[in-house]
A and B are shown apart, each in its own frame.
Chain A
Amino acid sequence: MAVCAALVVIGGVAAAWAAAHQVGPPPAPPAAADVTETGPAAPNGAPEPADGRPSASSRTMPTAPDGPAEATARPMPASRPTAVRIPSIGVDSPVHGLGLDPEGRLRVPSGARYDEVAWYDGSPTPGEAGPAVLEGHVTGTGYRPSVFFELGNTRPGDRIEVDRADGSTAVFEVTEIRSAPRADFPRVDVYGATKGPELRVITCGGTFDEESGHHLDNVIVFAELVRG
């Protein structure tokens, strides 16, 4: 009898603890969130809703006038990226280069650098004319959030700072956040020619496919150089 009662108590505590330590889904961009958000934010580990985060305190750049977008800055000379910061969502990561696999697909961060941001070394360096491509994981094994878990929480106007090997920093401003199914990836919009220096920050989010074990949607942040 006492043993049974103890089992109930211990089991209940263990189950309740586990239930309280569930991690919520990664945030989706507004358009996708409208469709997929069916309930309140997950209780633990879930990021604040976009409206709840302090936007004023995250803007540390001296010149960030509201209103019409600033004219895109002049292109910078080529120099490999070394680190990236997105203050509004607390990202601060070293950057390493990655290329394509034999099928022409972008390789993704792995091993000791799984949780770091990668730059597609076939794309322009951040600050050069054209779309520089950065990518990072949204989650890792063991269900833990990875470097771009909160990428869907960025908003137009947010700053992205990329340190470069020549000691300069390229500062970009977010212009658009999109969510796209991997099966219908907007290649031209993401990788296609641009007039000026731009940045694409890519991760996964949205629908998770239990069978393949991967997220089916990519979250893509589009940004333009505002200060070289």
Chain B
Amino acid sequence: MRKTRLAIIATTATLVGLPLAAGPAAADDHSGHELTAQLSQLNDSGASGTAWAKIDGTQLEIQLETQGLLAGAPHAQHIHIGGQNVCPANDQEGSGFEGALQVSDAADQYGGVAVSLTTEPGETGPDAALDVENFPADASNTYSRTITVSEEVAQQIAAGDGVVVVHGVDHDGSGAYDGDTKSDLDPSLPSEATDPAACGELDVVQMSMPEGGVETGGSTTAGVEYPAALALGTMAMGLGVVGLIAARRRATR
């Protein structure tokens, strides 16, 4: 029994270990350097989303899916590092429009911008934080980019210190960024353009994440059981009926 189990474990280790060891991101333990975040709304924006990131040396591969944002308006998005590396609560009030939370109001929680998640060809450093030309601008966005970051930033993100923040909230429901309150980041912009809409902490994933879904279905239950009995039975019935009709015709003639 024990021997069998050992053999199974050894076989499994060989089967599983080989492809893992062959990969470039072979890790000492289960957790590679993958990170994920669940983005939830700030400022009652109604926005939500998920983030997935992978650190390989100084390469940051990141995918972001967001929903519930204001359509047709650019949504600046960044990885913040610093402060307590956490997100503020949705009901946290700030210095903005009717108590709205502005970006700097929560700086002690999520720190400053470390990576600007622009689309090509936007720059990706903190200086590009408000590069409105190169941010997604739909209500729902799927974003994906591989970015070279500094060694320090790579290590901080890999350690779980990164916080994803997506900006742009239409507080007054006008359908556009407007209003008298100015942005705390750039007085030439309305505050609505930069106020945080969603936030999620990039946490270290506790496994090497499998690709895609799982093929755990065998044959269909929507199919036909006992097809032979059904087919032959039906055929026999048909033949019988044909025979009966033929016999009857002959009899009546």
Binding site for B on A (CB under 8 A): 1, 3-19, 21-26, 97-106, 108-109, 114, 120-124, 128-131, 133, 135-143, 145-146, 148-149, 180-183, 185-189, 191-195, 202-205, 208, 210, 213-215, 218
Q: Which residue of A lies closest to B235 (CB)?
A: A11
Partner of A4, one of B16, B211, B243: B243
> Is B10 in the interface zone, CB < 8 Å from A?
no
Binding site for A on B (CB under 8 A): 12, 15-16, 19-20, 30, 35-38, 50-52, 65, 203-227, 229-230, 232-244, 247
CB-defined contacts of B213 to chain A, threshold 8 Å: 180-183, 185, 218
Contact A25 B221 (CB under 8 A): yes
Q: How far is the CB of A127 from chain B (nearest CB, A)?
A: 12
Contact A191 B210 (CB under 8 A): yes
Q: How far is the CB of A10 from chain B (nearest CB, A)?
A: 6
Given contacts A137-B216, A138-B216, contact A18 B233 (CB under 8 A): yes
Contact A208 B236 (CB under 8 A): no
Contact B212 A182 (CB under 8 A): yes
Contact A120 B240 (CB under 8 A): no
Q: How far is the CB of A94 from chain B (nearest CB, A)?
A: 12
Contact B240 A4 (CB under 8 A): yes
Contact A203 B216 (CB under 8 A): yes
Contact B209 A105 (CB under 8 A): no
Q: How far is the CB of A185 from chain B (nearest CB, A)?
A: 4
Q: Which residue of B lies closest to A145 (CB)?
A: B221
CB-defined contacts of B244 to chain A, threshold 8 Å: 1, 4-5, 8
Contact B30 A6 (CB under 8 A): no
CB-defined contacts of B30 to chain A, threshold 8 Å: 122-124
CB-defined contacts of B204 to chain A, threshold 8 Å: 193
Q: Which residue of A lies closest to B39 (CB)?
A: A188
Provide the bound-state CA to CA distance between A131 and B38, in Å.
14
Given contacts A187-B52, A192-B209, contact A12 B237 (CB under 8 A): yes
Given contacts A121-B16, A123-B207, A143-B221, contact A13 B233 (CB under 8 A): yes
Contact B222 A208 (CB under 8 A): yes
CB-defined contacts of B215 to chain A, threshold 8 Å: 105, 108, 182, 204, 214-215
Contact A188 B226 (CB under 8 A): no
Q: How far is the CB of A206 from chain B (nearest CB, A)?
A: 9
Partner of A100, one of B16, B36, B238: B16
Contact B12 A121 (CB under 8 A): yes
Q: How far is the CB of B209 from chain A (nearest CB, A)?
A: 4
Q: Which residue of B lies closest to A128 (CB)?
A: B206
Provide the bound-state CA to CA distance between A228 and B220, in Å.
37
Contact A188 B52 (CB under 8 A): yes
CB-defined contacts of A130 to chain B, threshold 8 Å: 205-207
Q: Which residue of A lies closest to B224 (CB)?
A: A22
Q: How far is the CB of A194 from chain B (nearest CB, A)?
A: 7
Given contacts A8-B244, A12-B237, A104-B211, contact A18 B225 (CB under 8 A): yes
Contact B206 A11 (CB under 8 A): no
CB-defined contacts of B238 to chain A, threshold 8 Å: 11
Provide the bound-state CA to CA distance between A140 and B35, in Å.
35
CB-defined contacts of A124 to chain B, threshold 8 Å: 30, 206-207
Given contacts A15-B230, A187-B209, contact A202 B240 (CB under 8 A): no
CB-defined contacts of B226 to chain A, threshold 8 Å: 17-18, 21
Provide the bound-state CA to CA distance between A148 and B221, in Å.
13
CB-defined contacts of B65 to chain A, threshold 8 Å: 188
CB-defined contacts of A6 to chain B, threshold 8 Å: 240
Q: How far is the CB of B24 from chain A (nearest CB, A)?
A: 13
Among B216, B234, B236, B238, the one with the most A-chain Cβ atoms within 10 Å of its Cβ is B216
Contact B205 A135 (CB under 8 A): no
Partner of B230, one of A18, A135, A203, A218: A18
Among B51, B206, B239, B244, the one with the most A-chain Cβ atoms within 10 Å of its Cβ is B206
Provide the bound-state CA to CA distance between A1 and B235, in Å.
17
Contact A99 B12 (CB under 8 A): yes
Partner of B223, one of A121, A131, A143, A148: A143
